[in-house]
A and B are shown apart, each in its own frame.
Chain A
Amino acid sequence: MEFGYTIWIALIPFLAFLITGLAGHRMKPMVSGLIGTVGIGIATLLSYVAAHQYFFGVGKVDGVYQKIIGYKMEWLRFSETLAIDMGVLLDPISVMMLVVITTVSLMVHIYSLGYMAGEKGFARFYAFLGLFSFSMLGLVVATNIFQMYIFWELVGVSSYLLIGFYYNKPSAVAASKKAFIVTRFADFGFLVGILLLSYITGTFDFVLLTDPEGAAITQGSGIAFMGLSVMTWSLILVFMGGAGKSAMFPLHIWLPDAMEGPTPVSALIHAATMVVAGVFLVARLFPVFALSAPAGLEIVAIMGAFTSLFAAVIACTQNDIKRILAYSTMSQIGYMMLALGVSGYGGADGLGYMASMFHLFTHAMFKALLFLGAGAIIHAVHSNFISDMGGLRKYMPVTHITFLIACLAIAGIPPFAGFFSKDEILVAAYQNHMLYFLVEYIVAGLTAFYMFRLYYGVFWGKEKTYEHAPHEAPASMTIPLIILAIGSATTGFIPFQKLVTSDGMAFDIHFHWNIALPSIGIAIAGILLATAFYRKGSDMPDKIAAGLGGLYRAAYRKFYIDEVYQFITKKIIFNLISRPIAWFDRQIVDGSMNGIAYITNMVSAGMKDLQSGQLQQYAFVLVSGVLILVLSLVYLMNN
């Protein structure tokens, strides 16, 4: 098999994980870091080779990109038709994801050599990074939905381990727990969805499932349940898993807290790769969604649109640099979901699909850059809050410039990457429904506003007094920033419509000036507003915030979603279900068992007085017993 080597893309990070995990505490920290970095470096090279070979070589047959099985082995067999295979499935989106993941992961590995230097548990950090890279790579190349679920759980646990990396910090522990449990809850839906899907279609295999002419799609939408076909229900459940991982409302609450983890982790997991797994999942099952469950796709679009607006509003009010970026991530993922939701299948109808993947790609670049930049800033000023920052552009020129590029990219200013991908999404939304378009249009403005609020707050504004004078980060940190900045500036020119499309066939896009110009306009408006408010520092924002009153407070408190969850878990599940059950078990179930023992005891206590120790009493009973028996025997014999 010519793509047999692709299995090593995932396995090399796993080997690095094993080596650094088992022997890490015996080596010098830097050695374990280098092992991890070199490992992922090789994986990156391999995935570039694979991408080149796939996109410009053997992948395309008769103008259509094929699904190629690079490697496959049976892992567990349930029945004749249902089995979990482990393997590598190469198609445009998985190859694209390989490139994204290995690139960002490599950048983060290099960056962390500087960022994490001197931290306790350096080897552990690299081991977890290796585990994560392995799981994420395994996830995107999954050949069947169960393999995806397996790696889905594994990325969940690596995320858990990395968020809780500073395990001395109670807030980090709580955040890691929250992240795991919320996504686990979502995965419950995912798992039931998988089971339902396999029940209907009789297969886990992606190639069979997503074949537009295959039995799964053509026959799947039979039985109806509560107004929707069972197929739709199963896809909605699967999407629930995706929504959990991708922090869609209302399962988003873990993502902001996940920022307790080390910043490079946030860049890798909670910005560029793991959180887009939900998008990837929907994209992977896209033919099924589009062809046999349009209602499911509708839900994806609504969720995406709502989350992007919701998160963007919250992002405008937050103070913690990483949380702003986290909400921004949610908002951008909402974009991608929306794009998938409004897309059709095949050819130019699949514009939304293409746009979503395109945005996923560019977003990975600029959001990783933003997080890594934020890491450099935090590293310099030892605080997460923008109120503690200001005027840093003089001290950190490289970070400043790269950060600015990323801000321009995310705001959608041409010619940076974000402009192109976001523009395609807006076009796709426009073609589907005006409401979607309006929401995304507003979000585009909000995005530009809050990003530049952040930018000005950190690099301009009033200079704060710092304990140590801030200084530029070391080369190991700035080099990844520069590389990613180049990526953010240029990846917009990649012709995605030729490479990554819903049915593997290239199509042409037409540039819609009537959408592009207003979107640039609103972005610039957002930037100008932010410039006016925050460049010099003015009291206008506070006045507006005060004017909005309750609304502002609600947004600042993240619309009280956390509190609702607290209420449900602590008050209802713990106190109203679990505690009574524990009580019931001890008092009623166990009580009845003890009750039986107690009754037996009482009866025997009553009976034991018969045994008095009086020898003659026993003898009397014995003799009278014999007499009675003899007499009754005689009586019976005579009759």
Chain B
Amino acid sequence: MSIPFTHFLVLSTLLFFIGIYGFLTRKNLITMLMSAELILNAVNINFVVFNKYLYPDQLHGHFFTLFIIGIAAAEAAVAIAIIINLYRNFSTMDVEEIDQLKH
């Protein structure tokens, strides 16, 4: 017996909005990064699921997922490097303190 298609979509939607919520509300940059990872994973689930249900004989969705995982890893590395540098300069990880990016 297979799990119904909608379950996956509900899961990924929940995951996506948890990620969004975390990204918008958490003040710590690391947590925000984690939230971003959640969003990406929500997308991954969608890719795999759609692949499975729409084109079972093809693998494009899986490839995309693998790419996204790879890129997410790279992104995390870059983001953490940035965060470390920010921490060195501002001695804080609070995103509200780091507001130099304005006029």
Contacts and interface: CB of A to CB of B under 8 A. Distances in A.
B103 A616 contact: no
Interface stretch (A206-214, A515-523, A607-615): A607-615
Interface in A585-639: 608-609, 611-616, 619-620, 623
B24 interface: yes
Contacts of A623: 20, 24
B20 A615 contact: no
A45 to B, nearest CB: 85
A386 to B, nearest CB: 81
B57 interface: no
A613 B24 contact: no
Nearest to B20: A623
A609 B101 CA distance: 12
Interface residues of A, number: 11
B100 interface: yes
B99 to A, nearest CB: 3
Nearest to A611: B102
B95 interface: yes
A277 B20 CA distance: 96
A613 B20 contact: no
Interface residues of B, number: 13
Contact of A613 (B23, B25, B32, B99): B99
Contacts of A614: 95-96, 99
Contact of B102 (A613, A616, A619, A620): A613
A620 B24 contact: yes
Nearest to B21: A623
A426 B101 CA distance: 97
Nearest to A623: B20
Interface string B50-90: 00000000000000000000000000000000000000000
B103 A608 contact: yes
B44 to A, nearest CB: 19
Main secondary structure of the interface of B (DSSP, over half): loop
B43 to A, nearest CB: 14
Contacts of A609: 103
A205 B95 CA distance: 89
A614 B20 CA distance: 16
Contact of A616 (B24, B100, B101): B24
A615 B103 contact: no
B95 A615 contact: yes
B99 A619 contact: no
A619 B103 contact: no
Contacts of A615: 95, 98-99, 101
Contacts of A611: 102-103
B30 to A, nearest CB: 14
Contacts of B96: 614, 616
Contacts of B98: 613, 615
Nearest to A626: B20
A619 B101 contact: no
A615 B29 CA distance: 10
A620 B25 CA distance: 9
A600 to B, nearest CB: 15
Nearest to A604: B103
B99 A612 contact: yes
Chain B CB within 10 Å — which of A608, A609, A619 has the most? Answer: A619
Contacts of B103: 608-609, 611
A421 to B, nearest CB: 88
A141 to B, nearest CB: 75
Interface string B18-34: 00100111000000100
Nearest to A607: B103
Contacts of A613: 98-102
A623 B23 CA distance: 11
A608 B101 CA distance: 12
Nearest to B35: A619
A611 B96 CA distance: 13
Contacts of A616: 23-25, 32, 95-96
Contacts of A620: 24
Interface in A326-342: none
A615 B102 CA distance: 10
Interface in B6-42: 20, 23-25, 32
Nearest to B96: A614
A560 B24 CA distance: 88
A344 B96 CA distance: 103
Given A611-B103, A613-B102, A623-B20, 19 more contacts: A608-B102, A608-B103, A609-B103, A611-B102, A612-B99, A612-B102, A613-B98, A613-B99, A613-B101, A614-B96, A615-B98, A615-B99, A615-B101, A616-B25, A616-B32, A616-B95, A619-B24, A620-B24, A623-B24
15 contacts: A608-B102, A611-B102, A612-B99, A612-B102, A613-B99, A613-B101, A615-B95, A615-B99, A615-B101, A616-B23, A616-B25, A616-B96, A619-B24, A620-B24, A623-B20
The 3 closest A-B pairs by CB, nearest first: A613-B99, A613-B102, A608-B103
